A and B are shown apart, each in its own frame.
Chain A
Amino acid sequence: MEQSRRIPVGPILSAVALLAVPLVLPDWMKFIVTLALSKFLAVLAVALFLRAGMVTFGHAMFYAVGAYVVGFSNKLFAYHGILVLLVIGALVGAGVAALIGLIMARYREVFFAMLNLAFSMMLYGAFLKLYWVTGGTDGLGTGLPTFLGYTPARDNLRDVQYYATLVVAGLVIYGVYRFLASPLGYYLKARADNEIRIEYSGESVQRVIYATYVLSGALAAMGGVLAAFTVGHIVPEYAFWIQSGDFVFVAILGGFESVAGPLVGAIAFEFIRTYASKYFPNEWQMVLGIIMLVIILFRPGGIWAIYESLVAKVRRPKGEVAHG
């Protein structure tokens, strides 16, 4: 109702660009974009909580849960169907989140952030120590993915995998878009504003957080399934706190007020990291740090906010759109 009926040029161009990736980019870049699309799902999970004014430094645990679902499936059943594993990964991720969430929904602020970190580090420790199951630091292989029974040849595997990941990311974008337009999506923002009002409307803030937590667990785990197949190998570092921190970093880099922000952020992050570590092999974290500093100081809304203000500048001369 409130939205303008202009042709959404930006989204259409980005969709075309994403569809064209395998045709124009070299293999190593396809790999980077595929990985970025996979991690994007975990970043979205973190972004949901940022909207609610909450930070989690432990969502890599769900990402790792998804990845290890793939690893165990390979090890125990030699099964590699990516769609089925996505569903199982999402269910296991949601299940673990449903369990941990019972505790997590009671906490806010720094306690929420650090308790998530604590749980993720316990999981990291378990993956590390239970080496007869998890392979310890050696990790687990994933095997080559199959797509609805179709096994691509090695030379077009990257492309098929890319498109599969893109389709999943597209469905997730649609799903999260619906989520953000739903009562629960709005209640996340409302929580950041005023918990008292929520309780005095007869609703439970804990329920809001819990439901979001379960969904975020499923999302991040799906990201883990995709990332595991992209890399082909899983190590306990998937659950490490630095990985969790990266997700938060990317969400802020891209901007967490929209669905597009985390997507842009995830792709930008993988490229920044790749180039920064190529040109500044010893100082690449510093490059990331400087970028974060600039974003927070000048554009706290992230890259997406920069894009939006540019679009607004381009469109303004054509006359303001009336409100309401």
Chain B
Amino acid sequence: MADAAPIVQTLDLTKSFGMVTAADRINVQIQGGELVGIVGANGSGKTTFINIITGYLKPDRGRVLLMGKDRTGSPPRAIVKLGIARSFQIPQLYTSLSVLENLLLSLAARAGEATTFWRPLYRSSWMEDGLQTLERFGMKAYAHRPVNELPEGGRKLLDIALSFALKPQLLLLDEPTSGVSIEDKFQVMDTLMKVVEETRLTTVFVEHDMEVVQRYGRRVLAFDNGRVIADGTPEAVLADPEVRKAVLGRV
């Protein structure tokens, strides 16, 4: 029988930074196949939630279950190996390497070959896979260009592509459109969501723009002061006066 355990289940996650409570008894389940948008104002605890799940932060209280097993406090590396990859608000790239080389290193990591020193990085199977991924993300033309020649939207997409290339079971995207110009915002999201839909990848994306969440999310979680104040369909959540007040500052 298929494993029915949710990919992520948090139990009373709580985390404070001094006086600020960034996570306040969060209980969330994410099932395979879901496409979840997390919305909230700056400082509402969206990124903290991602950071705790991916092992970057340890919760003060509460537990993180991944595929039904308690992984609270596991280091990021171990969590990635379980199939949970993330992207970053500020792209984390290898800036002195080419776009394709960045991807090839993800593939080497996935194959557990980071310390292979005799076989080449440029090998046909990885090249094929890497170029295919770049094509999906619309960046094939940049394959052999240095990373720092990419426009900001491209850097964000590459950051996501590096995590995507790990072939995770769950992809967590931290503000995929922040830093991207308003004109490019929907293009980045369109590209991204096309990939997500084609591959049926379980995805959670954090976004402070309600319009983006409404358009792309199938389920929306609204955060405020470290609490989940609403959880449901985009229409229901974004019509909630409490959510509108917390996220937009007006009803």
Contact = CB atoms under 8 A, between A and B. Distances in A.
Interface of A: 1-2, 178-179, 181-187, 189-190, 192-194, 196-204, 207-208, 211, 215, 323-324
B83 to A, nearest CB: 9
Nearest to A190: B94
A157 B93 CA distance: 52
B105 A187 contact: yes
Nearest to A211: B115
A113 B162 CA distance: 31
A182 B105 contact: no
Given A201-B105, A201-B106, A204-B77, A178 B118 contact: yes
Interface string B149-189: 00000000000001100100000000000000000000000
B52 interface: no
B114 A184 contact: yes
Nearest to A189: B96
Contact of B93 (A182, A184, A194, A202): A194
B116 A194 contact: no
A90 to B, nearest CB: 14
A125 B81 CA distance: 44
12 contacts: A178-B120, A183-B113, A186-B101, A189-B94, A189-B97, A194-B95, A199-B80, A201-B105, A202-B81, A203-B108, A204-B114, A211-B115
B76 A200 contact: yes
* List of 6 A-B pairs having minimum Cβ-Cβ separation, nearest first: A202-B80, A201-B109, A183-B108, A211-B115, A203-B114, A184-B117
Nearest to A206: B77
B229 interface: no
A182 B92 contact: no
B119 A182 contact: yes
A198 B163 CA distance: 11
Given A203-B108, A323-B144, 11 more contacts: A182-B117, A193-B93, A198-B105, A198-B114, A200-B76, A200-B92, A201-B106, A201-B166, A203-B77, A203-B109, A203-B112
Given A201-B109, A202-B110, A323-B144, A196 B115 contact: no
Interface string B121-136: 1100000000000000
B192 interface: no
B104 A199 contact: no
Contact of A201 (B96, B101, B110, B115): B110
Nearest to A53: B96
B172 to A, nearest CB: 10
Contact of B77 (A184, A185, A189, A202): A202
Interface of B: 54, 75-77, 80-81, 85-86, 88, 92-97, 101, 104-106, 108-110, 112-122, 143-145, 162-163, 166
B162 A197 contact: yes
Contacts of A204: 77, 114
Given A178-B120, A182-B119, A323-B144, A194 B94 contact: yes
- Max count, chain B CB within 10 A of own CB: residue among A2, A179, A193: A193
Given A1-B122, A186-B104, A200 B80 contact: yes
Contacts of B76: 199-200
Contact of A181 (B97, B112, B120): B120
B166 A202 contact: yes
Nearest to B142: A324
A200 B85 contact: yes
A324 B122 CA distance: 14
B109 A179 contact: no
- Max count, chain A CB within 10 A of own CB: residue among B115, B118, B119, B163: B115
A240 B86 CA distance: 46
A99 to B, nearest CB: 18
Contacts of B77: 199-200, 202-204
A179 B162 contact: no
A193 B120 contact: no
Nearest to A183: B108
A1 B104 CA distance: 15
A166 to B, nearest CB: 23
Contacts of B112: 203
A173 to B, nearest CB: 15
Nearest to B98: A2
A324 B92 CA distance: 25
Contacts of B105: 183, 186-187, 190, 198, 201
Given A194-B95, A200-B163, A211-B115, A185 B122 contact: no
Contacts of B96: 189, 192-193
Given A2-B144, A201-B110, A203-B114, A186 B121 contact: yes
